[in-house]
Amino acid sequence: MNNFLKKISKNKNKSLMLTSLMLVVLFFSIISFISKTTNVKPDVIKYNKFTTMVSESKVASAELDLKNSKTFNFKDTAGKTYVTDNPKTDNFKEFLLSKDIAVKEIKVDEPIWATMLMSIIQMGLYIMLIMWMMKRMVPGQKRDDVIDKIPEITLDDIAGEKELKSDLKFVIEYLKNPDKYSKIGARMPKGIVLYGPPGTGKTLTAKAIAGTAGVPFFSVSGSDFVEMYVGLGAKRVRDLFKKAKEKAPCIIFIDEIDAVGGKRGFSGNSEQDQTINALLNELDGFDGREGIITICATNRIEDLDQALIRPGRFDKQLAVPLPEKEDRTAILKIHTSGKKLAADVDLTEISSMTVGFSGAALESMLNEAAFIAVNEGFEEVGNKHIEKAFYKMVMKGDRKENQNSRDKEELKIVAYHEAGHALATKLYTNDSIAKVTIVSFTSGAGGATFRTPQEMGLYSKNYIKSLIKVMYAGRASEYILLGSDDEITTGASLDIKQATTLIKEYLSVYGMNDKIGLINTNELLQTQELPIILEEASKLSMELYNEVKNDLQKNFETVREIAEELLINESISEKELDDIIARNKTI
């Protein structure tokens, strides 16, 4: 909702500023025209009268064209304008100046008809400019046209999404042969919502549906309906559906529907409400047999107005989730098809360490790896280049070049900190570790343990506790190394923040605390005033911290060996980590 308000506010401000500017210019042009055409004609007097007025110091200023004009204008001390004969003498200007009369040299006055003509032309240009701008604001002509071509991409070109593709088969069959369904009385969903995290391919999927079915694809964005003037957004909706009906069967795709389809009554924006009403009316205006399917995409389905997603409208909601391991491997194969890869690149291994990456993120990582390879003088993209790109994306920064300048004592603390995370991951979970490193990054991170979590939909109470202990393991390892609470550093600040989030969910969302019970405290009023939340959070925090501290103390030789290996080589792989743990018989 906040994003919607920002967008509409931005559009309003731009339009208001431009319109206001044009109106101001037009206003002053009209004033200028009126002043030029309605000026009172000056009194004509004899030249002798003028010289008398000069001698009596009654002349304040004069406007002269000394060589061409037969007359000249002057003003008296009261501001009244007169006209008299021009003597055209060589010393006339000097004479006036000697009498303290201000002199302004001008060219001969243009005829009044020429002045009027120029003013009319000037006003006409301003009016044409304003009309052009107003025309651009009208929804039907805001853009040259919506995209209405048949896309070349099909569902076969999209890797993964097996379940989603299966759900969409009936849509494609309907678009190819709508009569087959109408004969039996079947009604297609009027609207489909594709929802999921950014970068998962919602727009691509919608295009692929149209491409596979071979039907036109009308594509607009929700922000295209956000207008400055009430009613124009609604008009654009009506124009869009009118064009679609002319080319049915077809698909109307509205990206970022939340920009205009948010819950009504919260923003106080009547233009948004009218636009939603227009969209609802269009959906209600056909019975599902016309061969038009409206697909919209959003990252936040929970923000949509309930009237949009009720049965009979956008009644089919399909999730476009982040890709799983098998899907990531397929996506990587597509995005590496045009790249030269070195023999050491293993796409299966890359897919294992990119848990949580969207298809767009995978493409961006591979593109970044190609840039790194070229910049380093390689003709092929190697595994090290992909790893650098991966770390750059995850750490949100580049590796610092001058690693040798780091303080040795600080480096040692970082090594033990990351060793604690690595060992705790192996002690408490079945998660894998792509790499442990003490390389510092421009984002400010001094090191990292790249843990790859299991891809599960449900997590147990024990697993959540284990994750919290993994997050506390860095601080616990520091404490054991330094031997004093007074010597511990700020290196665990991000770990504590992540652990706090998990503890909060453990207590207030998942109902895993006996004292609080099966209650989502976020649904209660003034939750922050419930002292039991803070009390139980502190208790759980210290309990888990003490557990991991004791376990690391028992296995501190393993921690030490991992840290020493990091100090020598900066980074270690999972195999090297497993070898150290096996030698010390830790697990």
Active site residues: 418
Nearest to 229 by CA among 8, 64, 465: 8
Residue position matching structure tokens 């924006």: 269
> How many helices (H) and strands (E) in the chain?
19, 13
Enter the tokens of residue 413. Answer: 């603390």
DSSP 64-108: E-TTT-SEEEEEETTS-EEEEE----TTHHHHHHHTT-EEEE-PP
Q: Which amino acid is at 409?
A: E
Closest alpha carbon to 233 in 259, 214, 210, 252: 259
Fill in the DSSP letter of residue 246: H
444: left (phi over 0), alpha (psi -120 to 50) or beta: left
**Structure letter (DSSP) for residue 302:** G
The label of the residue with tokens 């692929």 reads 208
Here the tokens at position 80 are 């009244």
Angle CA 535–536–539, to nearest 5: 90
Q: Which of 351, 309, 356 is nearest to 334 (CA)?
A: 351
| Token pair listed for 534 | 């803070």
CA gap 18, 411 in Å, rounded: 57
Length of the chain: 587
CA proximity to 399, closest of 350, 343, 336, 443: 443
Radius of gyration over alpha carbons of the chain, in Å? 38
Q: Tokens representing 522?
A: 């976020």
| Amino acid residing at 123 | M
Using an 8 Å Cβ cutoff, are 51 and 30 in contact?
A: no
Amino acid code (one letter) for 548: V
Q: Report the candidate in 322, 285, 316, 320 with the shortest Cα–Cα distance to residue 170.
A: 316
| Distance in angstroms (rounded) separating the CA atoms of residues 559 and 477 | 8
Q: Which residues contact 38 (CB under 8 A, 6 or more apart)?
A: none
Distances (CA, A) of 123 to 63, 128, 392, 439: 28, 9, 57, 67
Which three-class secondary structure state does DSSP give residue 356?
A: coil
Residue with tokens 């009268």: 49
Give CA 550 to chain center in angstroms.
45
CA 299, CA 308: separation in Å to the nearest integer? 15
Q: What is the largest CA-CA distance in the chain?
A: 123
Measured between alpha carbons, how far is 189 from 181 in angstroms, rounded to an integer? Answer: 12
Tokens of 7: 């967008």
